Each structure stands twice: as C-alpha cells, then as structure tokens.
C-alpha cells in the first residue's frame, strides 16, 4: 500500500512539473502567504530564531527577513516540485536554475588531494543538489558521478522517504551513493573508490550523534554536527564550504571556499568552527536565503 501511495504522489508531481516554472512560482507564492499569515507554519520558531540571531536589527528589519524567508520557502517548494518531476536533463539545463562559479580554480585546488568533503547547508535550495552534474559543463568537475556519496537522515514516513528519494536524484541515473548517515562510515570503508561527499552539516546533531559546541554562531552557543568533518579527518580529504547564493528568482549560484586541503592535519572541531564562521557570513549577507523554520537551537529555547 505504501508503494502504491508513493507512486501516486510521484505521478502527481510529474504531472505538475509539466507546467512552466513560473506557474509553480505563482501557485507557491500564494502558498507562502498562507503559511506565513494564515496557517502560520512554524511562525513562532522563525520569529524566535530571527530575534536571537539578529538582536541588533530593528523589529521592522526582522519582519522583512521573515517575509522574505516565507517567500523563499514557497520558491523552494515550487523548484523542488518542478525539478523532481521534470525528468528531462535538457529541460533542466535550459531552465538554468543553478550554475557553478570558479570551477577552474576549484579543479586546481583539488589537484593531488585524496578526495573532497563538500560541507553544505540549508542556504539556497538544498533540494536541488541532485542536479549537481547537470549544472556544470560536461567534464568540468574533477570526479565522476559514481565517486559521490550523499549522506541523509531517513524520514519517518516510508511514503515520503520513497517520494523524496526519487525526487532528489533522478538526474544522476542509477545513483547508488545516497546513504543513511548512520551507515556512511561503513559504506565508505566498503567502497574505497568513493571519496567525494556532499554532507549537510548545519542541523542540530542527530540523537546519539557526537556534537561540538560552536561558541558564537549568530550570537548563540550552537551544538553542531561533526560527522562530515570527522570522516574528512579520518581519510585526509580536502574540505570545501559550499556557498549556495540566490541570485534572483529561478537562479542560484554555487561556489566553494577551502576549509582544508588535508583534513588529517586538523581536528573535526577546528573544521566545524571554520565552517560555521563561513556560514554566518553567508547568512548575514542573504538572511532570507536560510531555513529559519528549523528548530536549530532547541537546547536553548522553548519553541512551543
């Protein structure tokens, strides 16, 4: 029954994706207004996070960031539906949702390294990472698709787990590197040829996971995940901060900043601290481009 439900939902997404992306934006613009002003989806969480992250900004400025966040959140949904249901690499390339910047310099930076750990975040639209190899000119990335590992946390709903897996990675045909985070180290040891990771790192540590306390991220003591940094240190990988800027509606730019060329010479804590310093710069530059509805500081605040 769950499989049938997943097929139905996936079929609906593919039908919706036949519509132009601008139609999706119009529909999800209305949805964003409903989430912000009517349903008030996680409004308390967003307001609490913005209040403590930008204490020096006026209430009016924080309100504008809040409005911009919900508008961006609606666009994330629109782009995710269109992206997941498109099923045409050519159509995806024509739309130009994402581009890479500075790839030639990036290739040179990775020369002679044992692999690379891309530490990603919830800036931009993280649901679009499955198009990674379609956004870059063919052959411009210094590794192959079958070398990539993408760790994830399994959803509680089997139906949505199935739907989102299909939705996220359809352009990477036959992709086998989508691995539950708790199995990543074992999978990596068993697949020695895979040494490229896309590792989302800005969430609250999963239950039972080892964390590191970042002292002053957006004016707050912040518990941070260290799984990606620990793997990079273990295997001596290069570590890159992944910047995901919103250039305009329907267009993002990804670029990279080097945290380490050989992570074995650093500790996971040092890598994590550098990552969060870079992430703060990005958030302060484009505050509405971040996922403020996440209960990021649930050990500090009562989000009820």
Residue positions counted in the chain: 304
Q: Is the pLDDT of residue 139 over 90?
A: no
Q: Does residue 65 carry a pLDDT above 90?
A: yes
Average model confidence (pLDDT) across the chain: 92
Place of tokens 């500090």: 300
Neighbours of 295 (CB within 10 A): 14
Q: How many CB atoms lie within 10 A of CB 75?
A: 20
Q: How confident is the model at residue 9 (pLDDT cuts 50, 70, 90)?
A: confident
Lowest mean pLDDT among 16-30, 39-53, 158-172, 286-300: 158-172
Nearest to 43 by CA among 9, 79, 20, 69: 69
Q: What is the pLDDT of residue 87?
A: 86
CA distance 188 to 134: 25
Q: Is the pLDDT of residue 60 over 90?
A: yes
Cβ-contact 75, 125 below 8 angstroms: yes
The 10s digit of each residue's pLDDT in 114-136 is: 999 999 999 999 999 999 999 99
CB-CB contact of 248 with 269 (8 Å): no
Separation of CA 182 from chain center:
18
31: helix, strand or coil = helix
pLDDT of residue 182: 83
Separation CA 65–CA 247 (nearest Å): 16
pLDDT over 80 at 241, yes or no:
yes
Q: What global pTM score does this model have?
A: 0.93
Q: How far apart are the first and last CA of the chain?
A: 34
More confident residue, 225 or 191: 225
Q: Which residues pair with 214 in a beta bridge?
A: 222
Segments of 7-146 assigned E as strands: 98-100, 116-120
Question: 262, exposed or middle or buried, with CB in 10 Å at 0-12, 13-18, 19+?
Answer: middle
Could you tell me the two tokens for 180?
Answer: 């539950």
pLDDT computed for residue 287 by the predictor: 98
Closest CA relative to residue 21, chosen from 72, 71, 74, 82: 82
| 31: pLDDT strictly greater than 90 | yes
Are 289 and 124 spatial neighbours (Cβ–Cβ below 8 Å)? yes
Mean pLDDT of 25-42: 95
Q: Is the pLDDT of residue 208 over 80?
A: no
Q: At which residue do the structure tokens 């260290």 appear?
A: 226
Strand-pairing partners, residue 224, are 212
Q: What pLDDT does residue 109 have?
A: 94
The percent of residues above 90 in pLDDT, for the chain, comes to 71
Q: 304: pLDDT confidence band, cut at 50, 70 and 90?
A: confident
Lowest-confidence range among 1-10, 18-27, 66-75? 1-10
pLDDT of residue 210: 75
What's the angle, vertex CA 203, arms to CA 272 and CA 192, rounded to 5? 65
pLDDT in tens, 156-198: 777 778 878 778 888 787 788 888 888 888 888 888 777 899 9
Going by C-beta distance under 8 Å and a sequence separation of 6 or more, which residues neighbour residue 47? 62, 66
pLDDT at position 6 over 80: no
Of the listed ranges 92-96, 113-117, 155-159, 249-253, the one predicted with least confidence: 155-159
pLDDT confidence of 242, banded at 50, 70, 90?
Answer: very high
User: Binning pLDDT at 50, 70 and 90, where does residue 16 land?
Assistant: confident
């Amino acid at each position: 029954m769950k499989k049938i439900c997943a097929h139905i939902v996936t079929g609906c997404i593919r039908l919706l994706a036949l519509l132009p992306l601008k139609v999706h934006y119009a529909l999800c613009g209305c949805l964003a207004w409903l989430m912000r002003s009517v349903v008030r989806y996680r409004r308390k969480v967003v307001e609490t996070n913005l209040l403590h992250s930008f204490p020096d900004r006026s209430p009016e400025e924080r309100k504008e960031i809040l409005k911009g966040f919900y508008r961006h959140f609606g666009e994330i949904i629109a782009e995710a539906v269109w992206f997941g249901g498109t099923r045409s690499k050519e159509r995806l390339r024509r739309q130009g949702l994402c581009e890479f910047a500075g790839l030639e310099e990036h290739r040179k930076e990775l020369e002679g390294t044992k692999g690379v750990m891309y530490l990603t975040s919830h800036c931009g639209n993280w649901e679009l990472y499955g198009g990674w190899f379609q956004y870059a000119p063919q052959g411009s990335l210094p590794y192959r698709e079958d070398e990539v590992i993408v760790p994830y946390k399994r959803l509680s709903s089997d139906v949505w787990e199935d739907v989102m897996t299909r939705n996220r990675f359809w352009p990477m045909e036959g992709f086998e590197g989508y691995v539950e985070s708790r199995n990543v180290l074992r999978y990596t040891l068993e697949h020695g040829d895979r040494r490229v990771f896309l590792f989302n790192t800005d969430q609250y540590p999963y239950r039972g996971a080892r964390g590191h306390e970042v002292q002053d991220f957006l004016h707050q003591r912040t518990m941070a995940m260290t799984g990606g940094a620990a793997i990079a240190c273990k295997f001596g990988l290069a570590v890159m901060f992944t910047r995901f800027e919103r250039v305009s509606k329907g267009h993002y730019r990804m670029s990279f900043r080097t945290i380490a060329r050989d992570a074995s010479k650093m500790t996971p804590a040092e890598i994590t601290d550098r990552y969060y310093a870079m992430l703060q710069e990005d958030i302060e530059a484009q505050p509405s481009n971040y996922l403020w509805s996440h209960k990021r500081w649930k050990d500090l605040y009562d989000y009820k």
